[in-house]
Amino acid sequence: MAFWRRMMQTANKDQAPLAMGGFATTLLSVSLAMMEFRGISLQTQFIGDLCFVACIGLLISAQWSMLKGDTFSYTVLTAFALFYGGYGATLLPSWGIIDAYGGVNTPQYNNALGFFVLIWAVFNVFFLIASIQLNLVYICIFICIELCLIFDASSYFASADGNAAQSKALMHAAGVFGFIAGLLGFYTVAYYLCQDVLPFPVPMGDTSAWFQARRERKKLNSSSA
């Protein structure tokens, strides 16, 4: 019992800064490579970010959400932890995934990677819809992630079809939206960690009050009917 009491006391702490920090640092790094900033396009250097900073950091943070009973945060953090870890695993040379397809330039590899990213774009739609009742910053993050994933998948499909120039342009577009999502992630870190010491507020654009009022109106109407 004492153990569980300590666990519940720990659960009252906020896991969001670690989660958003791991999310933002990894996405920003990968997005810079997607945009080929300073001539970098190879993402192998970011395996550490993908598999450790994002994957493990988000998984650890997700457990706090589970203890709090926060289904949305637990699902989102766990899902993106597994996405980052899974994507990072495909880049590991020792796993031989790229070699199994015959290299990064083969149509089969690019189509497979395109499907991988596209299905995650479908999954992210549910997070976007659910975030509408939270705040504007989260809504913008999920919109940018959605566009990033769609453009990223489209880039791989274009590469599989042999349209190198189109693939490059789509990858750059994906990088732009990923970069914006990463910056918004850092903004969220500032909200959770720094707003008490900053001389100005860090608003998130709360939308929950509107939905709460809507639910109360529905409850009132149903009880009076």
Q: Is residue 161 part of a domain?
A: yes
Looking at residue 42, its pLDDT comes to 81
CA-CA distance, 199 to 27, in Å (whole number)?
Answer: 28
Looking at residue 161, its pLDDT comes to 96
Q: Is residue 83 part of a domain?
A: yes
- The whole-angstrom distance between residue 10's C-alpha and the CA centroid of its chain comes to 25
Q: Is residue 87 part of a domain?
A: yes
Looking at residue 112, its pLDDT comes to 95
Q: State the average pLDDT over residues 155-169.
A: 96
Q: Is residue 179 part of a domain?
A: yes
> What is the extent of the structural domain holding 50?
11-192+200-224
CA-CA distance, 156 to 10, in Å (whole number)?
Answer: 43
Q: Is residue 49 part of a domain?
A: yes
Contact 27, 182 (CB under 8 A): yes
Asked if residue 185 has pLDDT above 90, the reply is: yes
Q: pLDDT-based confidence at 132, cuts 50/70/90?
A: very high
Looking at residue 13, its pLDDT comes to 58
Q: How many domains does the chain have?
A: 1
Q: Is residue 143 part of a domain?
A: yes
Per-residue pLDDT of 135-148, as tens digits, reads 999 999 999 999 99
CA-CA distance, 145 to 182, in Å (whole number)?
Answer: 9
In angstroms, what is the C-alpha Rg of the chain? 20
Question: What DSSP line would sit under 54-113, residue for residue?
Answer: IHHHHHHHHHHHHHHT-HHHHHHHHHHHHHHHHHHHHH-GGGTHHHHTTSTTSHHHHHHH
Q: Is residue 78 part of a domain?
A: yes
Per-residue pLDDT of 56-112, as tens digits, reads 999 999 998 888 889 999 999 999 999 999 999 998 888 888 889 888 889 999 999
Asked if residue 4 has pLDDT above 70, the reply is: no
**Cα dihedral across residues 40, 99, 25, 175: positive or negative:** positive
Asked if residue 44 has pLDDT above 90, the reply is: no
Q: State the average pLDDT over residues 39-44.
A: 83
Q: Is residue 107 part of a domain?
A: yes
Instruction: Give φ, ψ of 135 to 5 degrees.
Output: -160, 165
